[in-house]
Each structure stands twice: as structure tokens, then as C-alpha cells.
């Protein structure tokens, strides 16, 4: 299949593996930021092709994983109302809130629907004028343009029964939070290619300079990731710390300018709580004042809530790259994809679920 097979060529993969082994002279720790990359790394067995001295740690770039528990509980509270049709991307439905998940709400009679694009939600709202239709707008910069477009169109059409529960998060502040932590072990980053396709690469240059870390904007196919790792290691070995773009077929340095303009119009930058990490300043997007009428929290008058995470879940440490899934005493025992304790066990992009599905053999060793 075009645009896929050429990036999964086993011979080229072996060549990159050999080039990586040649360039490495000492141990390095690299974080792949995006959950899509984590998924590919475990699905294709990429770690096996790397020298033992190169450690990959899995970053916080899984939207399902970092959406705060409070926001999941708010979604559940809204979805349980009789007058509501609650729409969400598929894998948010299984994320455990403090008491239940959205699939349970559906089983209890709530109208909870999976959509593939937020624009589908507008059609549902148009077709159901006597219902309140709410979209769970989660995700990084990648999903923001479509979510912004949905809100923008709703305003144009005057769709009074549509609103969004917005919980967008941003990558650069999360990278900064990791780098500025006293416990940080990460020496180089593979930045999330699709985030940069929207936002461009400019925001990463000050981070690379300030913290002296190489940042390689990287794609999601096995060869993309191997090439990203190679470029990152080469910089580390040569003592350089620049922003490089491995994913040039999708990412321009300026990003997608019209998407950025729409995002600026619909959203404003806010402090955001990240599940397992905590509050990070200027790390999220909420609806701007001009679109505040479409804010589901406001429409349904939800009060701010504070809830506790499961005690025996270490997903926060996993998301910061401080622990591996298998370090968790609950991993594969009390916590499985069928009965997840924390969000990292839910999505295929979550580090714990990815390890459970593809690498639990390591536990048997």
C-alpha cells in the first residue's frame, strides 16, 4: 500500500538499526512524545532493533491518558442527563472516571455515541432539535482544528442545542514541564509529527536552546521512528541540540496557517490539569469568549470538582517517563485493558495498554 509499505521495509529497518548501533557510544534516554509513536514502537517491536544502551521512554502524548479525571467525571455527569446526546471519539468511552466510565453510562440508558469527526455531531444536533448534543472535545493540537471548525460552524448556523466539553492540551508546555522537573532523565525528544503539521516547529526551538536537548519532529511509521531516533542520537553524540524535521512529507516549519488562525479564534490558552502530572501553566485550550455560549460546562452549570486517583496506579510517573508500565505492581493483575485502573491502560496509545498488548512477555522473563 502506497505511503505505508515503503515506511515498513524490513531491509531498510535493519540498515537504520545498524546505523544507530554504529553512532551510539554511550547510554542515552530518548522520549517519544506522542502516543501514536508509542503504539508503533511496541506494535512493530522497534525497541528490539536498538542497542541496549538506547532507552525509549514514553511521553504524555496520549490524549485519552492525560484528560483529567475531573473532566471525565464531568463528561459522565452530562451524559447521564435525559435531555443529552453525548458524542465522543471511541477510545474516550472506556476511560475510567472516579466511579464509572461512559460505556457504563450507555449501558445504564444514557445516549452516548461514538463519532469519527466532530462535524458528525453537528448533524446529530440538527437532526435532534429537542435534545442537547454535547461533544467531548479532547486531544492535542492535532484534533483541535476539526473541533474548532465544529464550534465555528455551530455558531454560524446558530445551533443552540450544540456545545462542547473542551479539554484540549498542548505539547510544548508538557515537554517544558518534563525538562524542568528535577527528576528528569530525558536527554532527547521525538516530537509528535502530526501536532507539528498543524502548529509548525517554531515553538520547539526555544526549548531545544534553553534545555540543550535535541528535538526531532518525527512521523509514525517504523522507518520514520528509526530515522528520528538515529537523528536524535547523532545530535546527542555530537553534542548538538537543534530542532530537526524528520517528517518533512507532512510537516512544514510554519505548520498549517489557516488551521492556526481558526484555533486562535475559537480557543484561548488556559492552565490545564494533566491526569497523572498535575497543573501545567498555559498548557491547554478552552473556548474563547466569543464562543463561550458553546461551552458545555457553562451551559450545564457544572461546578468545579476535585477527585482522587486510584492509589495503586502509577500512570502519572509512566506519563512523565519516570517509570515503565511493568514497574507498576497492579500492571497485568488488578489493572488490564478490560478493567483499567488508570487511563494509560485504556487507549491503544497508552503506554500501559501498548505494553500489555504487545510486550507482556517481558514480565515472564
Using CA of residue 95, residue 360, residue 315, residue 228, what is the dihedral sign? Answer: negative
Q: Which is nearer to another protein, 197 or 313 (CB)?
A: 197
- What are residue 267's phi and psi, to 5 degrees? -115, 160
Instruction: For the segment 271-330, give every residue that binds another protein (CB under 8 A).
Output: none
Give yes or no for residue 90 binding another protein (CB under 8 A).
yes
By CB under 8 A, the count of residues binding another protein is 47
Considering the rule CB under 8 A, would residue 32 count as an interface residue with another protein?
no
Q: Say how far apart CA 362 and CA 238 lie, in whole Å.
A: 33
d(CA 326, CA 334): 13
Pick from 29, 98, 114, 181 the residue near another protein by CB under 8 A.
114
Q: Give the one residue of 20, 30, 57, 64 binding another protein; rule: CB under 8 A.
A: 64
Residue pair 319/353 in contact by the 8 Å Cβ criterion: no
- Per CB under 8 A, 337 contacts another protein: yes
128 binding another protein? (CB under 8 A): no
178 is a contact residue toward another protein (CB under 8 A):
no
Of the candidate residues 56, 125, 138, 196, the single one contacting another protein (CB under 8 A): 138
CB of 35 to another protein, least distance (A): 8
Is 139 within 8 Å of 147 (Cβ atoms)? yes
At its nearest, how many Å lie between another protein and the CB of residue 31? 18
> Least CB distance from residue 319 to another protein, whole Å?
16
Q: Which is nearer to another protein, 93 or 296 (CB)?
A: 93
CB 101, min distance to another protein, A? 11
Q: Residue 8, interface with another protein (CB under 8 A)?
A: yes
> Looking only at residues 39 through 58 of this chain, which bind another protein when binding is defined by CB under 8 A?
39, 42-46, 48-49
Between 300 and 358, name the residue whose CB sits nearer to another protein.
Answer: 358
Residue from 118, 145, 222, 316 touching another protein (CB under 8 A): that is 222
Q: Does residue 131 interact with another protein by CB under 8 A? A: no
Could you give the count of Cα atoms lying within 13 Å of 64 in the half-sphere of its Cβ? 26
Our finding on whether 130 is near another protein (CB under 8 A) is no
The residue (of 139 and 214) whose beta carbon lies closer to another protein is 139
9 binds another protein (CB under 8 A): yes
Segment interacting with another protein, rule: CB under 8 A, options 38-46, 156-164, 202-210, 291-299 = 38-46
Q: Which of 28, 30, 57, 63 binds another protein (CB under 8 A)?
A: 63
By CB under 8 A, tell whether 347 contacts another protein. yes
The number of angstroms, rounded, from the C-alpha of 113 to the middle of its chain's C-alpha atoms is: 21
Q: Which residues bind another protein (CB under 8 A)?
A: 1, 4, 8-10, 13-14, 36, 39, 42-46, 48-49, 63-64, 89-94, 103, 114, 116, 138-140, 142-143, 194, 222-223, 337-338, 347-349, 356-361, 364
Amino acid at each position: 500500500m502506497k505511503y505505508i509499505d515503503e515506511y515498513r521495509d524490513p531491509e531498510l529497518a535493519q540498515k537504520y538499526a545498524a546505523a544507530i548501533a554504529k553512532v551510539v557510544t554511550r547510554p542515552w534516554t530518548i522520549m517519544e512524545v506522542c502516543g501514536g509513536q508509542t503504539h508503533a514502537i511496541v506494535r512493530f517491536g522497534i525497541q528490539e532493533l536498538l542497542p541496549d544502551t538506547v532507552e525509549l521512554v514514553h511521553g504524555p502524548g496520549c490524549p485519552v491518558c492525560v484528560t483529567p479525571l475531573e473532566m471525565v467525571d464531568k463528561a459522565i455527569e452530562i451524559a447521564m442527563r435525559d435531555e443529552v446526546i453525548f458524542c465522543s471519539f471511541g477510545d474516550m468511552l472506556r476511560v475510567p472516571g472516579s466511579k464509572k466510565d461512559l460505556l457504563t453510562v450507555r449501558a445504564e440508558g444514557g445516549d452516548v455515541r461514538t463519532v469519527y469527526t466532530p462535524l458528525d455531531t453537528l448533524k446529530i444536533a440538527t437532526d435532534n432539535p429537542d435534545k442537547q448534543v454535547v461533544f467531548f472535545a479532547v486531544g492535542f493540537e492535532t484534533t483541535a482544528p476539526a473541533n474548532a471548525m465544529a464550534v465555528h460552524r455551530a455558531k454560524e448556523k446558530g445551533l443552540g442545542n450544540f456545545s462542547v466539553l473542551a479539554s484540549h492540551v498542548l505539547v510544548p508546555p508538557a515537554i517544558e514541564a518534563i525538562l524542568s522537573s528535577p527528576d528528569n532523565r530525558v536527554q532527547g525528544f521525538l516530537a509528535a509529527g502530526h501536532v507539528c503539521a498543524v502548529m509548525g516547529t517554531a515553538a520547539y526551538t526555544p526549548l531545544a536552546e534553553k534545555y540543550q536537548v535535541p528535538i526531532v519532529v518525527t512521523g509514525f511509521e517504523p522507518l520514520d521512528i528509526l530515522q528520528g531516533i538515529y537523528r536524535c542520537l547523532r545530535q546527542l553524540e555530537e553534542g548538538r541540540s537543534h530542532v530537526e524535521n524528520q517528517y518533512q512529507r507532512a510537516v512544514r516549519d510554519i505548520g498549517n496557517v489557516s488551521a492556526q488562525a481558526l484555533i486562535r479564534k475559537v480557543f484561548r490558552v488556559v492552565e490545564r490539569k494533566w491526569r497523572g502530572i498535575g497543573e501545567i501553566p498555559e498548557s491547554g485550550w478552552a473556548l474563547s469568549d466569543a464562543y463561550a455560549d458553546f461551552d458545555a460546562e457553562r451551559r450545564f452549570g457544572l461546578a468545579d470538582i476535585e477527585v482522587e486517583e486510584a492509589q495503586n496506579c502509577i500512570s502519572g510517573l509512566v506519563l512523565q517517563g519516570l517509570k515503565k508500565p511493568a514497574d507498576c505492581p497492579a500492571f497485568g493483575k488488578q489493572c488490564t485493558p478490560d478493567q483499567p485502573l488508570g487511563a494509560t491502560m485504556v487507549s491503544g496509545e497508552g503506554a500501559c495498554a501498548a505494553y500489555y498488548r504487545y510486550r507482556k512477555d517481558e514480565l515472564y522473563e
